[in-house]
Each structure stands twice: as C-alpha cells, then as structure tokens.
C-alpha cells in the first residue's frame, strides 16, 4: 500500500482463558508509529459472546481510542520514555486534539 489514512486502527480479537472479561478491561489501546496508527486489542473470555459485527463494536473501539487520547492529553505524551519537555507536551496536546477530531 502506497499511503496510509490519517488514522489507522489495527483491531486484534483475543480470546483469553477466563470465564468473562470485565467491560472496563475489554479494550486495550496503544499508539504505534507512524502518527495516527493505533492498535486496539479486544479481549473476550470463553463464556463471552463477542459480537464484532455492526456499529456497536465499532463505537466501542472508537470510544476506547478517544478515551486513550484524552487520558494521554492530560498526561505527558512521553510517559513511555519517562520525560517530557514543554514543547513536546504542547505538540502532543495539539496532535491529540487533532486526532480526536
């Protein structure tokens, strides 16, 4: 593929060896490189009935990414590296706001 969309989400469905997964722990979101690329792991227990088709699942994935971006905007964007400068923080807040739109 010669180009990427502005925002690309890679969704991984994971069945884990627990009875059910709490909804608050169902989606794990992370940022990948380049800018605008995210991964979202949707975890389900063996008794859960995953419904990954339709708008409800898509809305849950999008909400999880928005929550991740909002949380990331309130904290240092460089928390993975353990430091942040004022410029880095200002730039990251700009990109978070831009990607939320």
Q: What is the pLDDT of residues 50-93, one digit of tens each?
A: 888 889 999 999 999 999 999 887 664 444 433 333 333 444 44
Q: What is the mean pLDDT of the chain?
A: 77
Against a cut of 0.75, is the pTM above it?
no
pLDDT, position 3: 66
Long-range contacts of 43-47 (CB under 8 A, 24+ apart): 43/14, 43/15, 43/16, 44/13, 44/14, 44/15, 44/16, 45/15, 45/16, 45/17, 45/18, 45/19, 45/20, 45/21, 46/15, 46/16, 46/17, 46/18, 46/19, 47/19, 47/20
């Amino acid at each position: 593929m010669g180009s990427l969309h502005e925002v690309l989400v890679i969704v991984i469905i994971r069945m884990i060896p627990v009875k059910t997964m709490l909804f608050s722990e169902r989606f794990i979101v992370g940022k990948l490189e380049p800018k605008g690329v995210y991964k979202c792991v949707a975890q389900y227990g063996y008794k859960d009935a995953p419904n990954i088709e339709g708008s409800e699942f898509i809305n849950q994935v999008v909400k999880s990414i928005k929550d991740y971006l909002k949380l990331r905007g309130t904290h240092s964007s460089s928390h993975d590296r353990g430091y942040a400068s004022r410029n880095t923080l200002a730039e990251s807040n700009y990109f978070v706001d831009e990607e939320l739109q």
